[in-house]
Amino acid sequence: MHCLEIDSLTFRYPTAQSPALKDISLTIRKGECVALIGANNSGKTTLCYALSGIVPLYYRGEFSGSVRVEGLETVNQTISSLSRHVGLVLQHPKHQLSGIRYTVFEEIAFGLENHGIPRDNILQCVTEALSLVGLSDAGECSPLELSGGQQQRLAIAAVLAASPDILVLDEPTTFLDPRGVQSIFELLANLKNKGKTIVFAEQKIEWIAEYADRIIALAGGEIILSGSPTEVLTSPILQKIGLDWSRYTKVADLARQRQLWPDSLPLPITFSEAVAGFSAKSPSDTCAD
């Protein structure tokens, strides 16, 4: 079953000369984890906005085509009603804090309060959201004293509290240190196992390779590639649109040119695939387990 359906979407921001998205058609199945890749200004952020209704409900520009979230046409909804179906997480952890809540717990409760959820349910929802993102011990902390990675997980918890089945994240790891990046990807894997549908824009190819079910590459507001991680991440088109292969792919490609990578195997995109390929070809004494 498809929970996100985009049909011939074209969108131009009011002040822009050319459209940010051009004739995008795309469907995403329930429970899928889809990564959006592309150079800067390729349309990733705008696509994230379109999936969560920010475009065209907040940024009103020239909008044609349709976006349906769990069957609901976004144009006919409000951002608030869509937030029950799709949660949006932005790039900068600090900029998403409400600015008027003093504890992590209350920050998460904020959205529920606005929806008029009774107090008992708030307690349950917030407690669940806290444990889901691994912040159960930080409920009484000030949001401002958390690390970047924790703040980003707080932002995720804050949108999850409204229990949407779909989560859209716009480059959530750009401003995080390596530990923060890892914690976000582990959380995404965990949410995927819980059945959430996840769409995330990201630059870090090596992480995408490990975690995404499907990858969509954008350039100039259009979908250039769409397919399995291996199909997309080993495509030679990547370099033409301002991106690059992962190190594992590059290594194997160089090796293949010298007949040091088995022809029967596709180029690897992850550590384990690289290890498997090289072990197959290496002499037995250097073969690793």
Q: Which of residues 214-273 bind other proteins (CB under 8 A)?
A: 239, 242-244, 246-248, 250-251, 254-255, 258, 260, 271
Closest CA to 208 of 146, 123, 270: 270
Contact residue for other proteins among 72, 189, 265, 275 (CB under 8 A): 275
Measured distance between the N- and C-terminal CA atoms of the chain, rounded to whole angstroms: 40
Under rule CB under 8 A, residue 169 binds other proteins: no
CA distance 161 to 151: 15
Contact residue for other proteins among 26, 33, 52, 200 (CB under 8 A): 52
Residues touching other proteins: how many (CB under 8 A)?
A: 78
C-beta of 7 vs 140, nearer to other proteins = 140
Least distance in Å: CB of 95 to other proteins?
4
Site string for other proteins, 9-38 (x = CB under 8 A): ------------------------------
Least distance in Å: CB of 98 to other proteins?
7
Least distance in Å: CB of 25 to other proteins?
25
Closest CA to 102 of 129, 152, 141, 154: 141
Point out which span in 2-10, 63-71, 73-81, 227-235 binds other proteins (CB under 8 A): 73-81
Point out which span in 61-69, 99-107, 129-137, 210-218 binds other proteins (CB under 8 A): 99-107
Q: How many residues comprise the chain? A: 289
Contact residue for other proteins among 122, 129, 135, 233 (CB under 8 A): 122
Strand partners, 219: 222
* Tokens of residue 175, six digits: 């401003």
Strand partners, 173: none
Q: Are 226 and 216 in contact (CB under 8 A)?
A: yes
* Tokens of residue 212, six digits: 């995404």
Site string for other proteins, 182-221 (x = CB under 8 A): ---------------------x--x---------------
* Tokens of residue 3, six digits: 């929970």
C-beta of 32 vs 273, nearer to other proteins = 273
Contact residue for other proteins among 71, 95, 124, 136 (CB under 8 A): 95
Residues 134-153 that bind other proteins (CB under 8 A): 142, 144-145, 147
Residue with tokens 């999850």: 160
